[in-house]
Amino acid sequence: MFKLKKSIAIFYLVMLFSCLLIGNINFVDIYSLPENFCANYSDIDNVNENSLFGGFVTTSLEKQQTSVSSQKDNDGVIIFKLFGFIPIRKVKVNILPEEDVYIGGVPIGLSLASDGAIVISDTVVSSTDGKVNKNATFKSGDILTSIEGQAIKSLDQVEELLQNSNGRVNVEFIRKNQKKSLNVELIKSTDGKYKLGLWVKDDISGVGTLTYVKQDTHNFAALGHPITDGKAGNIIPIEHGKIYDCSLIGINKGERNNPGELRCVFLQSSEKGEIIKNNKYGIFGHLNNLDNIVDTNLTAKIGGRLGVRPGKAKIVSSISGIREEYDIEIIKANYQAKSDDKSIVFRVTDKRLLELTGGIVQGMSGSPIMQNGKLVGAVTHVFLTDPTKGYGVYSDWMLEQQQPDAARLSAN
């Protein structure tokens, strides 16, 4: 009997080893999935229908729906099983509503008022002691968020706080997306005023692309990556922001080591909505006016990362003057445990788009990525060495930012 059990155990070990050799179990992707993520029912069904994680791996969903004060919590657990009966991993999932959204693809103007003062550069200050001084503490791109414990809301406030000090202040600031605090000795200039020795600003503007708009609330998502201060890469904390109808006046084609750009203009009078949130997934807010930037006839369901596969796909853009779909090939769909705006790697294959832009250019960030009729992602970056290749973020990561329980599923 002992020999028989031993033989059976050896048999199963050989079977498992054989499966690994022929690539029918993709443990790397299974264990790369985050502990919590969003998906819809069709995405989960797609795993089994297309053997997404290998021919010997199946999934089942255990629904955990509770009702509290008429609020339903659509949580569940996806169980990955080997050979249909050996559990190998469990992950929590929040079931997304099977709703249609308006598809974007149109350039929009962006204007943000920062929640703090952004350091542009040093400036020389002639002091009362006859010396010429420069700031030696702060760097270009730092974001000053408070002085003496008071949150900075305007540049006038910065001036007031400095002049009401005794020549030394505590400054809280953001550098490389990390919060820092320092006691700083101010420079007393020849006019008797205290100075930090800095040029600062409290607003930023640019151009991006609208990704989608929810039909019921008109809440939108765009860009797919954060608005930052530039080279320093700090995500701008925002006091408030606006989006505008944008007119495309030209395209600088992308070339090797030159990403190119969309050249657009927008006016303050063309305001369409407000920006509420700026984070690593993009910008989010509410549209007050859909005219010119939303085609209510162009809708699709949002697909999660489980439904994204290497192969043919499309991006939506109106850079030709009309909203069109352009062919791309998804080269890789990563399953990171942590969110990333470089989750999808793709190549532009459409000759029309290559002729217009050379590939992906600045200003196209946020362009919807479609596969199998679903919105699965948004364009985020271009390869500097090859403008025909780009990155994208999964659309379900963007949608999580508009879910009531998004804070539980992701850290911003």
- pLDDT band at 35; cut points 50, 70, 90: confident
Give pLDDT, residue 408: 34
Predicted confidence (pLDDT) per residue in 299-324, tens digit? 999 887 887 889 999 999 999 989 99
How far out from the chain centre does Cα 232 lie? 17
Write down which residue in 196, 218, 234 finishes a domain.
196
Give the Cα separation of 16 and 267 in Å (integer).
63
Residues known to be catalytic? 225, 350, 365
Q: Are residues 164 and 256 in the same domain?
A: no
Give pLDDT, residue 136: 75
Give the Cα separation of 345 and 334 in Å (integer).
8
Q: Are residues 316 and 396 in the same domain?
A: yes
Q: Which is more confident, 412 or 139?
A: 139
Q: Which is more confident, 63 or 82?
A: 82
Q: Are residues 89 and 104 in the same domain?
A: no
Give pLDDT, residue 3: 56
Residues 6+ apart with CB under 8 A from 18: none
Residue 138 located in a structural domain: yes
Asked if the model's pLDDT at residue 388 lies above 60, the reply is yes
Alpha-carbon torsion, ordered 193, 196, 197, 201, to 10 deg: -110
Predicted confidence (pLDDT) per residue in 325-371, tens digit? 999 999 998 876 666 667 899 999 999 999 999 999 999 999 999 99
Give me the DSSP letters along 176-190. Answer: TTEEEEEEEEPEEBT
| Exposed / middle / buried, residue 223 (Cβ in 10 Å: 0-12, 13-18, 19+) | buried
Q: Are residues 370 and 272 in the same domain?
A: yes
Write down which residue in 150, 178, 196 finishes a domain.
196
The residue segments making up the domain with residue 218 are 100-111+205-409
* Whole-number average pLDDT of the chain: 84
Asked if the model's pLDDT at residue 19 lies above 70, the reply is no
pTM over 0.85: no
Reported as type and span, the H/E element at residue 20 is helix 2-21
Residue 3 located in a structural domain: no
Asked if the model's pLDDT at residue 409 lies above 50, the reply is no
Q: Are residues 294 and 358 in the same domain?
A: yes
Q: Are residues 104 and 245 in the same domain?
A: yes
Residue 118 located in a structural domain: no
Q: Are residues 67 and 20 in the same domain?
A: yes
Residue 86 located in a structural domain: yes
Residue 4 located in a structural domain: no
How many domains does the chain divide into? Answer: 3
Tally of CB atoms within 10 A around 164: 11
Whether the CB-CB separation of 52 and 309 falls below 8 Å is answered with yes
Q: Are residues 226 and 365 in the same domain?
A: yes
